[in-house]
């Protein structure tokens, strides 16, 4: 599916991987709606990108909030063709130990955003995409791209909730792709390794260097523009469907 003149929603679009994807889609000629809780960052980004970008303050885990945002997108741009689910949080959560005021608080918070939020956005978007006329000879009506993490396959201390929810995103890829195929919607998941986002500007240099050293080749953190380019590639290649595509400079070879 050509990106040009299509309409995309990018959740988590105010920062990091989402922001880079918003900028890439705008450069490729799409209309883009930034769905984020960060009103200041999202609004400023939309304003800097001109009339083809809007900001919608949306909590992806909340049904009414997500539905209202999608309605605003349809009213503004007329249709919805692309959904990128980037909105995510990573809270330290241990199996044994206190996690917030109630033992399940932290776990449930991460589940609600990373797992439920991804499903919530996908199902509401699919309803709108299914109503599109096919946009090309393959009969494609829409493309959904979810975001997992290499953490789904790792055993880092304190990452039980994050890893579990990212594993859930991997797990929903195939059934979602299979179910939505009959509506002309492709579904894929990007599985990033360590990508340089604002998060890394706050960490100690030694920790940063150890993260870089965990990549095999090239030995550096990934760039947000590299994830954005993968996302654009997935949108434009209709033969990619039901895939979980890793982009991690080989850290799983370690």
Residue range at the interface with ligand NAD (CB under 6 A); choices 10-18, 123-131, 132-140, 170-178: 10-18
Is 14 one of the binding residues for ligand NAD (CB under 6 A)? yes
Is 87 one of the binding residues for ligand NAD (CB under 6 A)? yes
Task: Write the binding mask 159 to 198 for ligand NAD: x where contact by CB under 6 A, - elsewhere.
Answer: ---------------------------------x-xx-xx
- # residues contacting ligand NAD (CB under 6 A): 30
Q: How far is the CB of 5 from ligand NAD (least distance, A)?
A: 26
Is 70 one of the binding residues for ligand NAD (CB under 6 A)? no
Is 58 one of the binding residues for ligand NAD (CB under 6 A)? yes
Q: Could you tell me whether strands 195-196 and 222-223 are parallel, antiparallel, or unpaired per DSSP bridges?
A: parallel
Report CA-CA distances (Å) from 22 to 33, 98, 231.
8, 37, 10
Is 17 one of the binding residues for ligand NAD (CB under 6 A)? yes
Is 99 one of the binding residues for ligand NAD (CB under 6 A)? no
| Catalytically active residues, by annotation | 162
Q: How far is the CB of 138 from ligand NAD (least distance, A)?
A: 28
Residue range at the interface with ligand NAD (CB under 6 A); choices 8-16, 48-56, 97-105, 174-182: 8-16
Is 18 one of the binding residues for ligand NAD (CB under 6 A)? yes
Residue with the closest Cβ to ligand NAD? 16
Binding ligand NAD (rule: CB under 6 A), the pick from 21, 31, 106, 147 is 147
Q: How far is the CB of 70 from ligand NAD (least distance, A)?
A: 13
Reduce the secondary structure of the chain to three states and give it as a string: CCCCCCEEEEECCCCHHHHHHHHHHHHCCCEEEEEECCHHHHHHHHHHHCCCEEEEECCCCCHHHHHHHHHHHHHHHCCCCEEEECCCCCCCECCCCCCCCCCCHHHHHHHHHHHHHHHHHHHHHHHHHHCCCCCCCCCCCEEEEEECCHHHHCCCCCEHHHHHHHHHHHHHHHHHHHHHHCCCEEEEEEEECCEECHHHHHCCHHHHHHHHHCCCCCCCCEEHHHHHHHHHHHHHCCCCCCCEEEECCCHHHC
- What residues make contact with ligand NAD under the rule CB under 6 A? 11-12, 14-18, 35-38, 58-61, 86-90, 113, 117, 147, 149, 192, 194-195, 197-199
């Amino acid at each position: 599916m050509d990106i040009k003149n299509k309409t995309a929603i990018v959740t988590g679009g105010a920062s990091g991987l989402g922001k880079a994807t918003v900028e890439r889609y705008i450069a490729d000629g799409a209309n883009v709606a930034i769905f984020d809780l960060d009103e200041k960052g999202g609004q400023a980004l939309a304003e800097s990108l001109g009339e083809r970008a809007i900001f919608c303050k949306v909590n992806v885990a909340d049904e009414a909030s997500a539905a209202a945002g999608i309605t605003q997108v349809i009213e503004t741009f007329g249709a919805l063709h692309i959904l990128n689910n980037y909105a995510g949080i990573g809270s330290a959560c241990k199996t044994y130990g206190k996690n917030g005021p109630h033992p399940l608080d932290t776990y449930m918070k991460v589940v609600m955003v990373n797992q439920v939020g991804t499903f919530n956005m996908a199902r509401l978007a699919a309803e709108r995409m299914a109503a599109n006329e096919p946009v090309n000879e393959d009969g494609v009506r829409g493309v959904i791209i979810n975001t997992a993490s290499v953490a789904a396959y790792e055993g880092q201390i304190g990452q039980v909730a994050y890893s579990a929810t990212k594993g859930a995103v991997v797990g929903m890829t195939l059934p979602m792709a299979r179910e939505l195929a009959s509506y002309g919607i492709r579904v894929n998941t990007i599985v990033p390794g360590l990508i340089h986002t604002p998060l890394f500007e706050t960490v100690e240099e030694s920790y940063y260097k150890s993260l870089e050293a965990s990549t095999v080749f090239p030995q550096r953190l990934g760039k947000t523009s590299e994830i954005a380019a993968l996302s654009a590639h997935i949108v434009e290649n209709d033969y990619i469907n039901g895939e979980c595509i890793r982009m991690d400079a080989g850290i799983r070879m370690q």
